[in-house]
Amino acid sequence: MRIEPSIVLQLNSDVRQTRVADEGIILRQDDGEILVVNEVAIRFVELIDGQRSLGELADLLLQEYETEKSTLIADLAEYAGELVSQNVLNVVAP
Amino acid sequence: MSSFAAKMRQTWDQNILFSVLLELTYNCNLDCSFCYNEKGIQGKPLSREQYLELFQDLKSMSVFNLILSGGEPLAHKDFFFLGSKAREMGFVIRIKSNGHALHPATAKRLKEEVDPFSIEISLHGACAKTHDKQTRVPGSFVQLVKNLRTLKTLGIRFQLNSVLTRWNENEIADMYNLAEKFEVPLKFDSQVTPRDNGDQSPLEIAPSAQKLRELLQIQHNFREQTKADKAAQTATPRSYCGAGASTIAIDPVGNVFPCVQWRRKLGNLHRDKIRQIWENNAILTSIRQVNEEARKNILAQGEKVSRGAFCPGVADLMTGDASTIYPSVLLRSKLYEDILNRSGTDEKLTTE
Ligand SMILES: C[S@@+](CC[C@H](N)C(=O)[O-])C[C@H]1O[C@@H](n2cnc3c(N)ncnc32)[C@H](O)[C@@H]1O
Ligand code: SF4
């Protein structure tokens, strides 16, 4: 699916996540599927609150990681699309 | 990116607290004759507020799994309050229960308010006579089967756990059949342990060698079929197991131990903060050293012994020394070696 910067995402209710050292672990309780993700990805997932748009999340990440805004938004959009298709995230709005 | 198994090894190697087992209460609605709990434990139970503070601390330490056990965890007066708070805070909640109280209304509440990732339910036999002999509550088997049906109907995830004993050893196949009927896994534990106070009387119902071999053969066949993650088996963590390395256990009155089996007291939550115990505790440091020594010791004894599912906690309880190899390890090793010789394969039995 196409993810725009204005999109608002939330974690599916069966998703649990934590950090182990410099990586993250995401569990989908419904099917027991586990993903191991890198540091930026877990930070992105931690920031998702069902309120802020993808663009706003990118702004927050830009305060923590040095990268180009346009590149970050494109990467996040692609990654968010993957997580939506993996039933980790769902789209709240628009 | 690492695999999940590699991440778990990392928690052991780097002492990253990942799973915490809470024995919420030693109260119970059943009365298993072999139960290891120290029912008459002295001390003040942790309050709601103390549990909430503990949850906050565990969250700040990135703990993932919260295992609610007991006694019977559902017998704790604040079970639903604590379970729903733990859920809100994002823990993966696992429950160890005898299943006796999981009537439709309670089971529904459990799913809605606590939403556990798994419930591990104890089964002591494949028929009422055997199961109730262990629980010493007539009707508990019939009630359990009824409750398992309810869980299934409500779509609640669960698995069955059983400890192989002399009383249920002739029902291994029937117990697997029962689990299959509910389409859930059945996990057997082949080690009857002493009670937490050191009383060795539960060992009187340890299974016979013949039946233990039968179970090991089934477990071996299962591993062969599923080809369990070889990478995970061959990775080399520093510690023998997760006790005190990635896990701890806390009893109802706040005593903290490296593991539910390894009852060396590290501190008490009425006095100490969990982070302080985890990061700066002389006893825990020595436990970690013993755990590392135990690994070297077991490896040095060769393949034979490393197949015996040694547990430093059980060793400590049985012999007073966490690195001493106790008789049931040697028995399991011998039986397992025989299984491998006959099947013409070779592999290491890792700890479960
Ligand atoms: C103490 S119980 C607490 C949870 C719950 N009340 C139950 O029975 O499942 C945890 C597990 O320990 C097992 N257990 C109790 N006493 C044991 C013993 N002496 N040796 C081995 N396992 C034991 C039980 O069968 C159960 O699977
Ligand atoms: S149900 Fe669990 S806690 Fe209760 S007596 Fe049996 S083993 Fe012990």
Model pLDDT for residues B11-44, shown as the tens digit of each residue: 998 999 999 999 999 999 999 999 999 988 999 9
B329 touches A: beta carbon within 8 Å: no
Look at chain A and report how many structural domains it folds into: 1
Residue A66 resides in a domain: yes
3-state SS, residue B75: helix
B1 touches A: beta carbon within 8 Å: yes
Backbone angles phi and psi of A37, in degrees to 5? -125, 165
Q: How many CB atoms lie within 10 A of CB B312?
A: 30
**Ligand 1 atom having least distance to the Cα of B70:** 3
Model pLDDT for residues B124-137, shown as the tens digit of each residue: 999 999 999 999 99
Ligand closest to the CA atom of residue B123: 1
Q: How many CB atoms lie within 10 A of CB A51?
A: 11
Ligand closest to the CA atom of residue B95: 1
Residue A1 resides in a domain: no
For residues B6, B8, B11, B14, the Cα torsion angle rounded to the nearest 10 degrees is -30
CA A30 and chain centroid, separation: 19
Whether B19 is in the pocket of ligand 1, judged by its Cβ within 6 Å, is no
Angle between the N-to-C axes of helices B79-88 and B48-60, in degrees from 0 to 180, rounded to the nearest 10: 20
B14 touches A: beta carbon within 8 Å: yes
We report the CATH number of the domain holding residue A71 as 1.10.10.1150
To test the contact with chain A by mutation, choose from B92, B112, B156 the residue with the greatest count of A C-beta atoms within 10 A, namely B92
Of all residues in chain A, the one with the smallest CA distance to B92 is: A16
Site of tokens 């049906």: B149
pLDDT of residue B234: 47
Residue A3 resides in a domain: no
> Cα of B36 to ligand 1 centre, how many Å?
7
Residue B167 · residue B205 · CB < 8 Å: yes
Report the alpha-carbon distance of residue B205 to residue B24 in Å, rounded. Answer: 27
Report the alpha-carbon distance of residue B265 to residue B43 in Å, rounded. Answer: 14
**ipTM score:** 0.92
Query: Is it the case that residue B348 has pLDDT exceeding 60?
Result: no
Strands B158-163 vs B267-268: parallel, antiparallel or unpaired = unpaired
Residue A30 resides in a domain: yes
Residue A48 resides in a domain: yes
How much is the CA Rg of chain A, to the nearest whole Å? Answer: 12
CB contact under 8 A, B16 and A18: no
pLDDT of residue B264: 95
Strands B158-163 vs B118-122: parallel, antiparallel or unpaired = parallel
Query: Is it the case that residue A71 has pLDDT exceeding 70?
Result: yes
Report the alpha-carbon distance of residue B50 to residue B57 in Å, rounded. Answer: 10
Lookup: tokens for B256: 């903290």
Greatest pairwise CA separation for chain A in angstroms: 36
**Size of chain A, expressed as the number of residues it contains:** 94
Find the domain containing A67 and state its range: 8-87
3-state SS, residue A24: strand
Q: Which segments of chain A are extended strands (E)?
A: 8-11, 15-20, 23-28, 33-37, 89-93
Residue A93 resides in a domain: no
CB-closest option in A17, A19, A36 to B4: A36
Model pLDDT for residues B308-329, shown as the tens digit of each residue: 889 999 999 999 999 888 999 9
Residue A29 resides in a domain: yes
Closest CA to B158 of B99, B78, B209, B87: B99
Model pLDDT for residues A21-69, shown as the tens digit of each residue: 999 999 999 999 999 999 999 999 999 999 999 999 999 999 999 999 9
Residue A13 resides in a domain: yes
